[in-house]
Amino acid sequence: MGLQKTEAIVLRSYKLGEKDKIVIFFTRDFGKVRGVAKSSRQLISRFGSCLELFSHIWLIFFEKEGQELVKINQCDLLKSYFEAQQDLLVGGHLAYFSELIIEFLPERDVSQPIFRLVLELLAGIAQGLDIHYIARYFELWLLKLQGFLPLWEERCRKCSRELFIDSQAVYIQAQGLICNSCNSSSSAKSLPLSKRAFNIIQFMLKNRINRMKILRIKKDALEEIAQLNHFLITHFLEKELKSYQYLKNMNIYN
Domains of the chain: 1-82 (2.40.50.140), 85-254 (1.20.1440.120)
The whole-number pLDDT of residue 189 equals 94
Tell me the helix, strand and coil percentages in the chain, rounded to 5: 40, 25, 35
Alpha carbon separation from 138 to 10, 55, 95, 142, 214 (Å, rounded): 17, 18, 13, 6, 17
Q: What is the pLDDT along the chain (254 residues), one digit of tens a residue?
A: 789 999 999 999 989 988 999 999 999 999 999 999 998 888 677 888 899 999 999 999 999 887 889 999 999 999 999 888 889 899 999 999 999 999 999 999 999 999 999 999 999 999 999 999 999 999 999 999 999 999 999 999 999 999 998 878 899 999 999 999 999 999 899 999 999 999 999 999 999 999 988 888 999 999 999 999 999 999 999 999 999 988 888 766 65
Give backbone dihedrals phi and psi of 185, rounded to 5 degrees, phi first. Answer: -95, 5
Euclidean distance between CA atoms 72 and 7, whole angstroms: 13
Task: Order the strands of the 170-173 sheet from edge to edge.
Answer: 176-179, 170-173, 191-192
Res 126: pLDDT: 92
pTM here is 0.93
